Amino acid sequence: MRQGSSLIEQAESLVPAAEIWAITCHKATDDELSALEQVPFKDWVFFVTVGGVCVAVSGLVGRIDDDLFRHIYTEVIEPALTKWNPVADAALMDCRRFLHEAEQSGGDLTPVDALGAWVLFNLLQRGRDLSAGEIQLTRPLGGLMASAFADWWDDCPEVQQRR
C-alpha cells in the first residue's frame, strides 16, 4: 500500500492484491499448514482471496461514514469481485455471515479462528466436520489472512485510525 493512497485507490487494488497474495502464499505457508497442500490450487486461491477481502472489508466497517462504505462496497469492491469470479461476492457474503454468527454465538471461536474455519470448511468441502488436527489449522490459516489485510486501509487519509 502506498502511503496516503486514496480510499478509492485502495478499494480498486484490493481484489487483485488479495489474489496475488493468495497465489504467493500457497507454497510459502509454513509447516503448520502443509496438510493443506493437497487442496486444489484454484480452490486455495479462491477461498483465501475471498478471506483476505473479508478481512479488509470488515476492517473498514465503522471507520468511514456508512454511506461512503456502501458506495465503496457496491461501486468498487463488489464489481471487482464479480469480475474476478462471478460467485466471489456470494462467497464474501457467506464468509461475513459466518463470522457474524460465530461472534454472536458467544462460543470460543476468535474472529481469526472463525475466518480460518470458514476457509477450511470450504477448502475441505466436508461441511463442518473437521478432525482434531484440522481444527488446529483454523488459527494459523485465519491468522495468515488477518495479518495480511487487517491494516489494508490504515494509510488512507479518509479512514479513521483505530484507537
The predicted-structure confidence for 2-40, as pLDDT tens digits, reads as follows 444 689 999 999 999 999 999 988 765 556 666 677 788
Start-end of H helices in 7-163: 7-28, 41-60, 66-72, 78-84, 88-105, 111-124, 132-135, 138-149
Share of the chain above pLDDT 90, in %: 63
Count Cβ atoms within 10 A of the Cβ of residue 54 and give its class: 0-12 exposed, 13-18 middle, 19 or more buried: buried
Q: What confidence score (pLDDT) does residue 162 get?
A: 60
Query: Does the model's pTM come out above 0.95?
Result: no
> Measured between alpha carbons, how far is 120 from 116 in angstroms, rounded to an integer?
6
Per-residue pLDDT, averaged over 86-115, amounts to 92
Helix (H) or strand (E) holding 37: none
What is the rounded average pLDDT of the residues 39-48?
93
pLDDT at 1: 45
